[in-house]
Amino acid sequence: MNFLNLNWRKVALVILAGLLPLLSINMEQKGKETDWIKQPFQLLSGFAQDFFFGFTHGVRSTTAFYIHLINIKKENEDLRDLNGRLKTEITLFRELEIENGRLRDLLQFKQKSKMEMVAARVVGRDLVPDYNTLTLNKGLEQGLKKGQAVITLKGALGTILDVDTNRAHVMLITDRYSVVDGLVERTRAQGYVEGNGGSTSSLKYTDRTSELLKGDRIVTGGLDNVFPKGFPLAVVEKVENKAYSVALKIELKPIVEPFEVEEVFVVVNSQGEDFTPAPVTTALPAEKSETP
């Protein structure tokens, strides 16, 4: 009974395939919001899209975060470098400022004083700790001689022990061989400041009747013609008045901390400089002076 000898199954499939788009167009034209044929897939595709959106977001944000981290790391390194450089510069500036201040003070001191002085830098200390000496970067060429006084702005440091062409050793007032003529600033009691070999000195041959107190300042006596008169030397640390001794036992702490000194003055010629403060005088009525 098959006149055209057709495969009806194939024909039905073709018709169905032709109708499906038509049906779909018809459905669209009816204004339905979603295509019924897509609906089962839309749900799945939504899940898939959500998944990939999330995944992409994750990857992007991770990548961005990583790239950002790399940038941050680099930036951090750059900033650290910069910070380090700036810190170094600040430290250098501070050092320079401090040095500048010190040098300005030294210059002012030199300008105000009538002493003839040579400025020098401390470069080293003694090889053996038994000798309290410092090495200066100036010597014979700059006019330094053995026995000259070495001072700082705060006080006396010592005397030149030996001198080479461009180098000099300073014997500190704490050295066991050092002896400097001293004077108690307040009472004007005299004595000799002798080094103890450590970090202290002693005031010797001071009359036991002298009234000395802890904290009294000892200044140079000026009798040795090495140091200018009245220049600070040390401070009284301890006073012992022993019954059997004719003199007081006085321990002194030097005003200048020797191992912190960087710049010094070597007194080439003190020119009779006297740092003793002028006595406070009360106003007296002026007297007429009669000239013969």
Give the residues lining the site for another protein (CB under 8 A): 123-131, 133, 135, 161-162, 169, 171, 176-177, 196-198, 259-260
**Cα–Cα distance measured from residue 275 to residue 270, given in angstroms and rounded to the nearest whole number:** 11
**Cα–Cα distance measured from residue 171 to residue 254, given in angstroms and rounded to the nearest whole number:** 13
Least distance from another protein to the Cβ atom of residue 56, Å: 59
Least distance from another protein to the Cβ atom of residue 168, Å: 11
**Cα–Cα distance measured from residue 110 to residue 119, given in angstroms and rounded to the nearest whole number:** 9
Least distance from another protein to the Cβ atom of residue 68, Å: 43
**Cα–Cα distance measured from residue 141 to residue 78, given in angstroms and rounded to the nearest whole number:** 50
Whether the Cβ atoms of residue 130 and residue 197 lie closer than 8 Å to each other: yes
Whether the Cβ atoms of residue 268 and residue 118 lie closer than 8 Å to each other: yes
Q: Which two tokens stand for residue 39?
A: 């609906």
Question: Among 149, 123, 132, 140, which Cα is nearest to 263's?
Answer: 123
Whether the Cβ atoms of residue 227 and residue 265 lie closer than 8 Å to each other: no
Residue number, 36 or 177, with CB nearest to another protein? 177
Residue number, 24 or 196, with CB nearest to another protein? 196
**Cα–Cα distance measured from residue 139 to residue 160, given in angstroms and rounded to the nearest whole number:** 10
Least distance from another protein to the Cβ atom of residue 201, Å: 12
User: For the chain, where are the E strands, in sequence order?
Assistant: 116-125, 133-136, 149-151, 156-163, 168-172, 179-184, 190-195, 201-204, 217-220, 232-240, 249-254, 263-269
- Cα 176 from chain centroid (whole Å): 33
- In three-state secondary structure terms, 4 is coil
Residue number, 115 or 256, with CB nearest to another protein? 256
Residue number, 174 or 206, with CB nearest to another protein? 174
Least distance from another protein to the Cβ atom of residue 99, Å: 14
Amino acid at position 274, single letter: D
Number of H helices, E strands in the chain: 2, 12
**Cα–Cα distance measured from residue 29 to residue 25, given in angstroms and rounded to the nearest whole number:** 6
Residue number, 109 or 131, with CB nearest to another protein? 131
Least distance from another protein to the Cβ atom of residue 177, Å: 5
Least distance from another protein to the Cβ atom of residue 228, Å: 24
